[in-house]
Amino acid sequence: MTLLTEKRARRPENETRKIRGKVHLREHLMGWLFVGPFAVVFLAFLIAPLAYALYLSLFQKKLIGGTSFVLFDNYVKAFTDPSFLSGAWFVIRFSLVSIPLQIVLALVMALILDSVTTLFARFSRLMIFLPYAIPTVIGAVMWGFLYSKGFGPLTDIFGLFGATAPDFLGSNLIFYGLLNVVTWQWAGYYMIILYAALQGVDPTLYEAARMDGAGRWQIATRIKIPLIAPALILILVFSLIGTLQFFNEPQILRYLAAGTIGSDFTPNMYAYQQAFSLANFNYGSAISFALGGIVFICVYAFLFFTRKRRSFL
Amino acid sequence: MKRRRILATVAMLAVGSGLVACSSDEGGSGASNCTNTITKQNVPVVTMWGWYPNTQLVVDNFNKLHDDVQVCWTNVGQGGDEYDKFQTAISAGTGAPDVIMVEADRIPTFQIQGALVDIKQYGYDAVKANYGEGAWKDVSVGDAVYGVPVDGGPMGMIYRKDIFDKYKISPPKTWAEYEQAAQKVKDAGGPLFGDLGANVPAVLMALQIQKGAAPFTFDPAQPKSIGVKLNDQASKDVLDYWGGLARKGLVGTQDQFTPEYISGVINGKYATYISAAWAPGYLTGAGVGKGQDTGKFAVAPLPQWDPANPVQVNWGGSAFSVTKQAKKPELAAKVAYGLYADKESLTDGWTNQIIFPLNLTALKDPAFVDLKVAFFDGQQANKEVYLPAAEAYKGVAYAPFGQYYLDAMTKQVSEIIKGSVTGSQAADKLQEDVAKYAKEQGFTVQ
């Protein structure tokens, strides 16, 4: 903004210069006034805590010996800490499976709902979206009870056929148990975003395509999907960031899953445990930042590989 | 998963800093938001956190009996929830109450951070005779006293009479008999005999101590050094024993204090429950022993390794401690000594099975000794099981990093349950893990 003002101020008309300068100064001030409230909140509740967490992460507090400045020791520790690494590896694996699954499901549902315009389609749209409207905590508790060996329906259903129910809260299947909860909750949300993007596509394109002899399948794959690619990339980035920060569902299910989910199951849970249960705010902050680093790298890599398609950020 | 905003990442990092949570001013001396109503005005107020189900009554009794001090009570959550808040207040340097209810095993954790006050100078001698030696040891670090005992958890074996009758077994007196009985019930197609819960590491610690383990040795005169001995033979034996029971399918591996576990207890899925004296109250509250299950439960002494030399252990039990943030420690100590120490409160506690009192005035009360416990179908559980167990209890030296130790234990027990390690291997890993942590925290580990 300052640059702009100066440039304009250098114009040759000496008379108008002062007046224009004043106008610009006023506009300038108005601009800051509008940005002000946001800037204050942004600085106070985002930048300041972040800076403080970064500051904390550079120290180490011991029960014996007190606090000392250790620079990046906490980060070195994090990246050699099996708890952090296994948690990070888990969320990366989980992302690789859950994100494509959710996106494909959401895309298929959005395409179907886009090409069908009956009352039933509208009803389905609402139903598919509904799980997202249920708070995560309640969703997780509900699924925890459904999975339960003691009083969940699975035991009865499988019992009818004389089989033992799979234990989705056991250590072998917990991955799929969580996958199901997450997909159930989020696929509908992504579907709505994609559906909205599809609504924005100019219908004359479909007409033109049909004139050229394209079938429904071809319209979907050659026209619709390429046109909503920016929305696809947007939800991919959202889901990538969200999944790497996996916290709510495992944190709640750990009370129902006998010892399957430890306090270091995901990096965020580990940071929470370190900070609030072991009072190790320094290491907790370091883990948070280390996770932030991983998220940044993953998102950057993803955006780099899809840079031709994106139209945002 | 929070995906609503792209900035959620950064927000999460912000939460990590703990800035958001620690500005609450519930504690301090501003006694504006007490759960109880203080009727006496212009009297100094002491703030207190606690979670006994009958705290309201206990606090009212105290306030009625005292004209020079009044208690302002807040329930900030049970166990871990409260400790997390207290820990945050310690780190922040503000926000803690004057008096806090803590389980005895947490006292060293807070003491080593300088968060608790040694209350020996504030009237210890006057009440010393009111509690047993083991009770005082549990709340002491060296010679200093950091809490006033309230309730304990002498352990026993709760069992279902209907299952024992059906499979014709009598309560096992040793752990060897326990396993034989478990095998017998299993062979006859009966239910699980007990439960190995990864989330109750304190039980396993108690059972290890029963066999002679001494996990931590700590001399407050030399605060920089600590003895960590988690993989001695006794500790390994106990983990191997329970790992073996689980592997053979004799006991379940369900987390305890969960709906899943309680529904199992109600449905007769477990023949025994190795637990403490406060368990009947807890189980009653959770809906166990009602309806068709009325009077099905009984209690027997904890099985022993060597019946010739029985050892009694403890699980749970709490005390009132005075925090360093108390502005008038002497007044706070008066509250700590006086709360839950009057006869009316104690009687309410034990008749409703809320606590197993450690105050000798209650323990020697014939009404308490001879109490026919309804949950146990009129069995005189105090006289037969819990009182002898409490009297024989010697006390334990707990770790100054108890939270870490218990978390690490939970992790290893989960591995035992998964079958990826044996009990002995788990003990070795636990030793390595905890010793490493102790060193990181600046201790010299012996």
Q: Please give the Cα distance from A140 to A158 (Å, whole number).
A: 22
Are residues A224 and A198 in contact, defined by beta-carbon separation less than 8 angstroms? Answer: yes
Hey, what amino acid is at A7?
Answer: K
| Rg over CA atoms, chain A | 26
> CA of B326 to nearest chain A CA: how many angstroms apart?
21
Range of the structural domain that residue A30 is part of: 2-56
Q: Please give the Cα distance from B412 to B416 (Å, whole number).
A: 6
Q: What is the mean pLDDT of residues B263-275?
A: 90
For residue B70, give Cα distances in angstroms to B29, B46, B205: 12, 6, 38
Mark whether A52 and A77 lie in a shared domain: no
Q: What's the CATH fold of domain B8-152+317-375? A: D-Maltodextrin-Binding Protein; domain 2 (3.40.190)
* Reported ipTM exceeds the 0.90 cut: no
Q: What is the mean pLDDT of residues B162-187?
A: 94
Q: pLDDT for B135-164, tens place per residue? A: 898 898 888 999 999 999 999 999 999 999
- For chain B, the average pLDDT equals 87
Number of domains in chain A: 2
> CA of A238 to nearest chain B CA: how many angstroms apart?
6
Q: Across the interface, do A259 and B198 touch by the CB < 8 Å criterion?
A: yes
- Chain B residues in contact with A273 by the CB 8 A cut-off are 407
**Nearest to A183, CA basis, from A108, A101, A112:** A101
Option in B17, B410, B441 nearest A53 (CB) = B17
Q: Please give the Cα distance from A27 to A22 (Å, whole number).
A: 9
pLDDT of B15 reads 41
Q: Across the interface, do B264 and A284 touch by the CB < 8 Å criterion?
A: no
Bridge partners (DSSP) of residue A278 are: none
Q: Across the interface, do A49 and B8 touch by the CB < 8 Å criterion?
A: no
Q: Which of B88, B218, B242, B260 to mutate to test the interface with A (most CBs of A within 10 A)?
A: B260
Task: Tell me which CATH homologous superfamily contains domain B153-314+396-445.
Answer: Periplasmic binding protein-like II (3.40.190.10)
Nearest CA in chain B to A54: B17
Query: CB atoms < 10 A from the CB of B144, how many?
Result: 16
Task: Give, in degrees to the nearest 5, the angle at Cα A96 between A94 and A99.
Answer: 90
- Ranked by mean pLDDT, the top range of B222-226, B235-239, B399-403 is B235-239
Q: pLDDT for A93-138, tens place per residue? A: 999 999 999 999 999 999 998 888 778 888 888 898 999 999 989 9
Mark whether A105 and A14 lie in a shared domain: no
Residue B257 gets which letter from DSSP? S
Q: Assess if residue A66 is contained within a domain.
A: no
Task: Give, rounded to a whole angstrom, the gap between the first and last alpha carbons of chain A.
Answer: 21
Q: Assess if residue A260 is contained within a domain.
A: yes
Are residues B79 and B51 in contact, defined by beta-carbon separation less than 8 angstroms? Answer: yes
Q: What is the mean pLDDT of residues A176-198?
A: 92
Task: Give, in degrees to the nearest 5, the angle at Cα B442 between B441 and B444.
Answer: 120
The two structure tokens encoding residue B339: 């709360």
Q: Across the interface, do A239 and B413 touch by the CB < 8 Å criterion?
A: no
- For chain A, the average pLDDT equals 85
Mark whether A41 and A91 lie in a shared domain: no
**Tokens 């750990």, located at residue:** A254
Q: Is the pLDDT of residue B4 over 60?
A: no
Query: CB atoms < 10 A from the CB of A214, how many?
Result: 16
Give phi and psi for A312, each to the nearest 5: -135, 175
**Nearest to B338, CA basis, from B152, B153, B71:** B71
The two structure tokens encoding residue B251: 């006991």
Q: Please give the Cα distance from A24 to A27 (Å, whole number).
A: 5
pLDDT of A4 reads 46
Q: Assess if residue A171 is contained within a domain.
A: yes
Q: Please report which helix (H) or strand (E) contains residue B226, including its range.
A: strand B225-228
The two structure tokens encoding residue A285: 């902050």
Mark whether A103 and A249 lie in a shared domain: yes
> CA of B223 to nearest chain A CA: how many angstroms apart?
8
Q: Assess if residue A67 is contained within a domain.
A: no
Mark whether A51 and A114 lie in a shared domain: no
Q: Is A49 exposed, middle or buried (0-12, 13-18, 19+ CB in 10 A)?
A: buried
Query: CB atoms < 10 A from the CB of A240, how many?
Result: 20
Q: Which of residues 68-127 of A touch B (CB under 8 A)?
A: none
- Chain B residues in contact with A237 by the CB 8 A cut-off are 6
DSSP calls for B101-114: EEEGGGHHHHHTTT
Give phi and psi for A68, each to the nearest 5: -140, 155
The two structure tokens encoding residue A138: 């309640």
**Tokens 């370190």, located at residue:** A274
Are residues B322 and B332 in contact, defined by beta-carbon separation less than 8 angstroms? Answer: yes
B65 and chain A in contact, CB less than 8 A: no
A237 and chain B in contact, CB less than 8 A: yes
- Chain A residues in contact with B113 by the CB 8 A cut-off are 63, 279
The two structure tokens encoding residue B227: 């003895």
pLDDT of B27 reads 39
**CATH number (domain holding residue A181):** 1.10.3720.10
> CA of A117 to nearest chain B CA: how many angstroms apart?
28
Nearest CA in chain A to B255: A258
The two structure tokens encoding residue B39: 């009727």
Q: Which of B1, B12, B24, B218 to mutate to test the interface with A (most CBs of A within 10 A)?
A: B1
B263 and chain A in contact, CB less than 8 A: yes
Query: CB atoms < 10 A from the CB of B258, how many?
Result: 19
Hey, what amino acid is at A115?
Answer: S
CA atoms in the 13 A half-sphere facing the CB of B305: 15
- What's the full length of chain A, in residues? 313
- Chain A residues in contact with B8 by the CB 8 A cut-off are 241-242, 245
Q: What is the mean pLDDT of residues B380-399?
A: 89
Q: Is B236 exposed, middle or buried (0-12, 13-18, 19+ CB in 10 A)?
A: buried
Q: Is the pLDDT of residue B132 over 60?
A: yes
Share of chain B above pLDDT 90, in %: 61
Confidence of residue B326 (pLDDT cuts 50, 70, 90): very high
Bridge partners (DSSP) of residue B252 are: B195
Question: What are the extents of the domains in chain B?
Answer: 8-152+317-375, 153-314+396-445
**Nearest to B53, CA basis, from B149, B151, B129:** B151
CA atoms in the 13 A half-sphere facing the CB of A195: 24
Task: Give, rounded to a whole angstrom, the gap between the first and last alpha carbons of chain B.
Answer: 44
Mark whether A103 and A228 lie in a shared domain: yes
pLDDT of B18 reads 39
- Chain A residues in contact with B260 by the CB 8 A cut-off are 148-151, 256, 258
Are residues A78 and A84 in contact, defined by beta-carbon separation less than 8 angstroms? Answer: yes
Q: pLDDT for B52-94, tens place per residue? A: 888 999 999 999 999 999 999 999 988 888 998 998 899 889 9
| pTM for the full predicted model | 0.81
Q: pLDDT for A206-261, tens place per residue? A: 889 989 988 888 888 888 988 888 899 889 998 999 899 999 999 988 877 767 88
Confidence of residue A14 (pLDDT cuts 50, 70, 90): low
* Strand pairing class (B194-195; B314-322): unpaired
For residue B152, give Cα distances in angstroms to B102, B132, B155, B298, B308: 12, 11, 9, 20, 25
> CA of B25 to nearest chain A CA: how many angstroms apart?
18
pLDDT of B265 reads 87
